[in-house]
Structures are given as C-alpha cells and as structure tokens.
Amino acid sequence: MEQVSGKIGDFHVSVRKRARYVNEDLCTGCGSCAEKCPTMAVDVFNAGLGRRKAIYKYFPQGIPSVFTIDAPECRQLGQGKKCGICAKVCQAGAIDYGQKDSIVHLEVGAIILATGYEVFDPSVIPEYAYDRIANVVTALEFERLLSASGPTAGHLDRPSDLELEKEIEEIRKEAKKLDRQIRQLEEKHGRSSASVIEQVAGGADKELRDWAAQAEKLLTMEKSLAELEKRKAAAQPARKLAFIQCVGSRDFRYNRFCSSYCCMHSVKEAMIAFEHDNDVRSTIFCMDLRAVGRGFEEYKLRGGSQAGITYLRGRVAEINEDEARNPVVWYESTTSRQVIHETFDMVILATACIPSSSASKVAELFEVELDENGFFKTDPLAPLNTSRQGIFTCGCAQGPMDIPESVAQASSAAARAAEVVSPARRSA
C-alpha cells in the first residue's frame, strides 16, 4: 500500500504491485522453469528447513498459480551472471526479466485489514536454546516436518539428521572435485599419490608437496565421510516428543496476552505425529491447557487416551543437549513439587502469535488505532469495526485466533463491507 485517501464509500487507494518477472497472463504453471533452474535458495514456506529453486510458486495452493523469480537469488537478475535457462525452457514465453513494479489505483467503498500475524522468535529466550540446539524447533517448523509436501515428506526426521545429510552432501561434493584433480595429476606424472606421499616424507619440491597435501586431505575427507555415513545409518526418526506451551505469550517479559490457538495446535500436532508412527509418545508441558472451542475438550481427552499424549502441569526452566544431540528438558512439576529432567528426541516450542511487523505502518497509513498489544483496535460491541468508518478488520490482525474463527470473521467482515457499498446505501 502506497497511499490512502477519502472517506467511507469513497476511498482512493494506491497499491504497489511488485514485479514477479513472469507474465501472469502467459504462465501456465507447468513448472518446466523450476525443474531446470540451477540455483537453489532457502525455502521460507517450509520455515527454512528445505530449499527451493530461484523461480518458484509462493506456496502450492497460491492464486494465481503462476511462478515468480526471486530476484536477489537469481543468477541473471541478482548476481549479474549469464543464465536465462528459465526463459529458454518456457514454451509459453512468460519469462520477462525486464518487468518493473507498477502502481495500481483503486477506488473502493470499504476496506478490510487482514494483515495476519507473525510468529514470536524464541531465540530471545536463552533458556530454551532454540538457536543453539538443532532438535528444538517451533510449532510451525514441526508442522512442515509433518506435512507430506514438506522437506521430509512427512517423516519425523530430526533437524540434526537433516544437517548431517547436508554435511555429507557437501563433503562428498568437495571430495569428488579433489579426487578428480588428484587423478589428473596421477595420469600426468604416471605415478600414484601414495608414492608421492612417501617421497615427500624424505623431502621434495613444492609441486609434490602440494600434491601430497591434497592426497592426504582426500584421505581425511574419506574417513570423515565413512564416520558420518555410519552415524546417518544409525539415525532414527523422532519418537519421544516434548511440547512446551506459552513460549512468548502469557509472559510479562514479552507478551502478556494468551495466543489462543497454541494449546489445541500442540494437541493436533501430537495426534498427527502418532498417526504417522504409533510408537510416538508426546508430553505437553503447560500451565493450564485452554480448550475453549466446541468439541475441543473431547479432542484433548481423545489425544490423551488414544494418541499417547501426556499432559504435564509444569514450567520448563531450561533445555540442555546430551552427547547424542538429544534435548534434555529440566522442569518443575507443580504436582510433585520437584525439579525433574527428562531426555527427548525433539522439543517443539508453541510460540506466541504476535502482530504483523507491518501493523504500525498500516495503522499510520490508514489512520486507524492499535490496541495495547499492537493489534488493530476494534469496538467491543462491533468487533470488526476499526476506529475509522468504512475500514474493518478480521482474523489475527485483530488478535490471536484459530482458523475456524478467522474464517467466520472474514465472512462477517465481507458482509460489513457489502453493507457499505450496497446500492441501498449509495442511493441514500
């Protein structure tokens, strides 16, 4: 959004449409461009746990279902290199490297602010070691690990094992390159690297010393690869899970409010993990579990009786890591009044729902108020109305809420906007 002016029934809005470097009218969404693209980038949709191509779809169900080029990651646009492969393979001729941002001017009668939310960054809580222990993940990251379209195809592979696979791939790639160089030297001089290493031990010129150093480095890399492959073969999927509630919410240090959906989200994830593998056992650490929706209490009880979930009332004080990279959770049990520690395969942090980082800028642009928590302020008796007539809000832009409630509010907000632009109101 660039500019907003006017009043209820007659708003003038300027919107910046960012260049996607793909012509939406020509793209058929076939995926040939992404299949051939040689450049990989971090996949934000998969919470950074996987990688995608530099030309991609924002997410699988995105509308319009067309591709976009990530300009900073693209060799052609962001790195100044010659590539153009996506343009060569696109039979529809949809690739447009010269596309620019454009400004779209809209005249509307009502506006709905649905800016969504962001996830609290748990790395600011040092005792949970989110940024230090690989197998401590957020609920959103765990959601992507559970997804069949996620980075592990739905298997509960631990992030530490994913890092291991990446390390093996990088070492194998470097070793292959080094092996090729050494073979060229052996063919050129007609002798083996082993004999060069023996000769260097008694003194030799610089060329032979460099050759011997490369050969010894390759041997070291091969030993390292063998050890890493052994560790990879011994790796097991996560079967003992810990869910920690209220991470960043109901906490006077960060956010005083309750994030509403976290309790049932953890129960749902634990039940889905059990469906994937019936050997999975989950422990949910909570102060109190809030199951406030219709049928939620029964769902929670079913998780405890049928899906191997234990609800433990206790506050987690610290998370450490053992030699096998397993998280060790230290907590105070409020029932036994003891400090206990327990080892898990993976820890999932139920992170808070916080206002979008753009909320303050949007509020200033649309001249609406924010509440004390940073969400859009609404009338208690008209929960979709902002402080400015003709501008409404819904979903997590107003405050933390789950998907069914967000969908219901979206329908209500659409109805309120329809009241503003209806022929009866215009004629009045």
Domain-located, residue 248: yes
Kindly state whether residues 252 and 347 are assigned to the same domain: yes
Q: What is the pLDDT along the chain (428 residues), one digit of tens a residue?
A: 899 999 999 999 999 999 999 999 999 999 999 999 999 999 999 988 888 999 999 888 888 889 999 999 999 998 888 899 999 999 999 999 999 999 999 999 999 999 999 999 999 999 999 999 999 999 999 999 999 888 898 899 999 999 999 899 999 999 999 999 999 988 888 888 888 887 776 566 777 888 888 889 999 999 999 999 998 888 899 999 999 999 999 999 999 999 989 999 999 999 999 999 999 999 999 988 888 888 899 999 999 999 999 999 988 999 999 998 999 999 998 888 889 999 999 999 999 999 999 999 999 999 999 999 999 999 989 999 999 999 999 999 999 999 999 999 999 999 999 999 887 555 55
Locus of tokens 């102060």: 287
Kindly state whether residues 253 and 153 are assigned to the same domain: yes
**In 147-261, which ranges are continuous DSSP H helix?**
159-189, 193-201, 206-234
Over residues 282-333, the pLDDT tens digits come to 999 998 888 888 889 999 999 999 999 999 998 899 999 999 899 999 999 8
CA dihedral 288, 292, 297, 300 (to 10 degrees): -60
What are 295's two structure tokens?
A: 């049928």
What is the domain-level CATH number for residue 1? 3.50.50.60
Domain-located, residue 107: no
DSSP string for 42-53: EETTTTTSEEEE
Kindly state whether residues 387 and 349 are assigned to the same domain: no
Domain-located, residue 304: yes
Q: Which residues lie across from 353 on neighbouring strands?
A: 119
What is the domain-level CATH number for residue 57? 3.30.70
CA atoms within 13 A on the CB side of 214: 22
**361: enclosing H helix or E strand:** helix 359-366
Contact partners, residue 422, CB within 8 Å, separation at least 6: none
Q: What is the pLDDT of residue 202?
A: 57
Round to whole Å and give the CA distance between 331 and 352. 20
Kindly state whether residues 341 and 276 are assigned to the same domain: yes
Domain ends where: 294, 323, 354?
354
Kindly state whether residues 4 and 137 are assigned to the same domain: no
Round to whole Å and give the CA distance between 262 and 234. 34
Residue 144: give the domain boundaries: 119-157+237-354
Q: What is the pLDDT of residue 426?
A: 54
Kindly state whether residues 382 and 271 are assigned to the same domain: no
Of 163, 169, 170, 166, nearest to 137 by C-alpha is 163
Locus of tokens 């395969």: 345
What are 63's two structure tokens?
A: 């509308």
Domain ends where: 185, 207, 234?
234
| DSSP conformation class of 249 | S
Round to whole Å and give the CA distance between 16 and 1. 6
Kindly state whether residues 230 and 241 are assigned to the same domain: no
Q: What is the pLDDT of residue 50?
A: 86
Domain ends where: 100, 134, 169?
100
Domain-located, residue 372: yes
Reduce the DSSP state of residue 138 to 3 states and report it: strand
Q: What is the pLDDT of residue 334?
A: 85
Kindly state whether residues 246 and 319 are assigned to the same domain: yes
What are 234's two structure tokens?
A: 């011994």
Kindly state whether residues 363 and 333 are assigned to the same domain: no
Domain-located, residue 105: no
Kindly state whether residues 257 and 342 are assigned to the same domain: yes
What are 217's two structure tokens?
A: 């480095």
The total of structural domains in the chain comes to: 4
Domain-located, residue 141: yes
Domain-located, residue 113: no
Q: Which residues lie across from 244 on neighbouring strands?
A: 285, 349
Domain-located, residue 366: yes
CA atoms within 13 A on the CB side of 198: 5
Kindly state whether residues 129 and 153 are assigned to the same domain: yes
Of 306, 25, 50, nearest to 155 by C-alpha is 50
Kindly state whether residues 241 and 390 are assigned to the same domain: no
